[in-house]
Structure 1
Amino acid sequence: MDRPSQPDTEAGRSTVDTVMSLLGAFDERHRVMGVRELARRSGIPRSTAHRAIGQLVAWGALERTDDGVQIGVRLFEIGTLAPTHARLREAALPYAHHLAEFTRLTVNLAVREGSQIVYLEKITQASHRVSHTRLGGRGDAHATGLGKALLAFASASEIDAVLSQPLRPVTPHTIVDPALLRRDLAATRARRVAFDLEESRAGLFCVASPILDAAGAPIAAISVTGATTRAQVEEHAGALRTAALAIGRAVAP
């Protein structure tokens, strides 16, 4: 079925707005929802939501389950066509797998979107799983090694925009003082690696390095997570820097 295109007069909004609101209502804690809950979370009238959901299911953007509907495989297929991220993942995967084999820790690849990061790839270890990150998931940039690696090389205005917002304490160790975070970002720029010392998850340490383009702007970051001591993450800093540099060169046109 073709994607719907007629104005949604009942909701006073276009069908595109309706579709975006419905799909945007899904998140990590709401992966499967019934029509009533999906309508409530999206702010769409139930009759409008019911009609739009049927069209989205027919198109493949949503799939029906015993408990409601969930994101469909068609959206995953379309997401893989994003040229920049597809090229980045293709260039990064060999180095990510090597890091996972060398460190025996979880490897994550992420990009920054505003004050958050989005995970593009995750390579896990059967012996030590890191449950708080997932492919396509998000995290607060200030509370993760990946986010701090990316923020450290962002422009001054971008850093100011993130640090001017309330910084949520994810754990008791999360740096939420803007002045302290600026010092941490300055240290990250100097050593080209960022450390997450139980800032995103109690008991877990992480080291991340930015992947920079030819002009020195951050395009992504790669990390290993799952260490239990600072000494353990520090011993992998050199390998992260090397991998990030190699990926940056491979991505460059």
Structure 2
Amino acid sequence: MSILETTANILKLMVELQGGIRVSDVITRLGMPKSTASRVMSQLEFWGYLEKDESQGTFLPGPLIMSASHLVSRQITLSDHVDAALRNLCERTGYTGYISMLDNQEILVLRVIHGRQALPVVTWPGSRSPAWGTSTGRALLARFSDTQLHDFFASPLVVSQLSGTQHDVSMLVAAVACTRDAGYATAVNESVADTASVSCAVGDPATHEAVAFCLSFPQHLATPEELQRIATLLKEAALAIAGKTGDTLVTSPL
């Protein structure tokens, strides 16, 4: 096994264990002889790939790894990750993609990526909608704690939006809870007539940003099988992005 492969396996083990690792972890999990494991870990520490916490006896990512990670995080934003993933999905499915964010209790459309499948109505960047009435909104609200969700529905703007409608807050909260459990949200003929959408949300803990991204398509294509297929694609993309940003809220498998 080359030193590059050994280093990669040790770093993968650190990711798998979600924390510092000991020489004993390398021995037992990677099947490496004790003398080899000790020597490799010492070399990786010397060159800055790892840093040893003497009080715990564990190895953590070293200054070289952290510096490279910081450089990448500064150059590639959450929006960049989401945009690249969504463009790929739009190309694969032919559907229209949207990237949105929460702004003052409303969903604000940031970007639209046109697909080959024409939509009855296109929602343009800058458009706003009640967050509780869209799949992208529910995907983002699902990231809230119960306290944050209570405060959201108690806010003057949301109370005003719901006034005079037949929407029940308890049912809306239940819909957000379902989204939280599933890891994605769907909407069929809801905020946009004759249109279906499936949404996921992902965040960047370093910047405290979170965005939702969705695929939208004509309502007549929204069979249960198609909704599930699109949800699977979006969820896979969200998990991949979360792995790059360190977002621990995107964890539930479909």
**TM-score of the two chains, using structure 2 as the length reference:** 0.57
Shift of residue 132, structure 1, vs aligned partner: 4.3
The CA distance in 1 between the partners of 2:209 and 2:179, in whole Å, is 13
The CA distance in 2 between the partners of 1:205 and 1:133, in whole Å, is 13
Q: Which has the larger radius of gyration?
A: 2
Q: Contact 1:111 / 1:120 at 8 angstroms: preserved in 2?
A: yes
The CA distance in 1 between the partners of 2:185 and 2:119, in whole Å, is 21
The CA distance in 2 between the partners of 1:175 and 1:161, in whole Å, is 20
The CA distance in 2 between the partners of 1:221 and 1:111, in whole Å, is 6
Shift of residue 250, structure 1, vs aligned partner: 3.1
Superposed counterparts of 1:153-232, under 5 Å:
153-164=143-154, 165-166=158-159, 168=161, 176-213=167-204, 219-228=210-219, 229-231=222-224, 232=226
1:234 is matched with which residue? 228
Partner SS state of residue 234, structure 1: helix
> Number of paired residues?
165
Partner SS state of residue 236, structure 1: helix
1:110 to 96, 100, 103: 100
Q: Contact 1:152 / 1:189 at 8 angstroms: preserved in 2?
A: yes
The CA distance in 1 between the partners of 2:239 and 2:245, in whole Å, is 10
1:97 is matched with which residue? 87
Alignment gaps of 5+ in structure 1: 1-82
Change (3 A) 1:150 1:177: same
Partner SS state of residue 202, structure 2: strand
Change (3 A) 1:205 1:175: farther
Deviates more, 1:110-119 or 1:130-139: 130-139
Q: RMSD value over aligned CA atoms?
A: 2.8
Identity rate of aligned residues, in percent? 24
Report the structure, 1 or 2, having the larger helix content: 2
2:115 is matched with which residue? 125
**TM-score of the two chains, using structure 1 as the length reference:** 0.57
Q: Contact 2:95 / 2:117 at 8 angstroms: preserved in 1?
A: no
Q: Match of 1:234, as an amino acid?
A: Q
The CA distance in 1 between the partners of 2:228 and 2:215, in whole Å, is 11
Shift of residue 187, structure 1, vs aligned partner: 0.8
Change (3 A) 1:127 1:224: closer
Q: Match of 1:211, as an amino acid?
A: V
Change (3 A) 1:156 1:218: farther
Mapped pair 1:244 → 2:234? no
Q: Match of 1:161, as an amino acid?
A: D
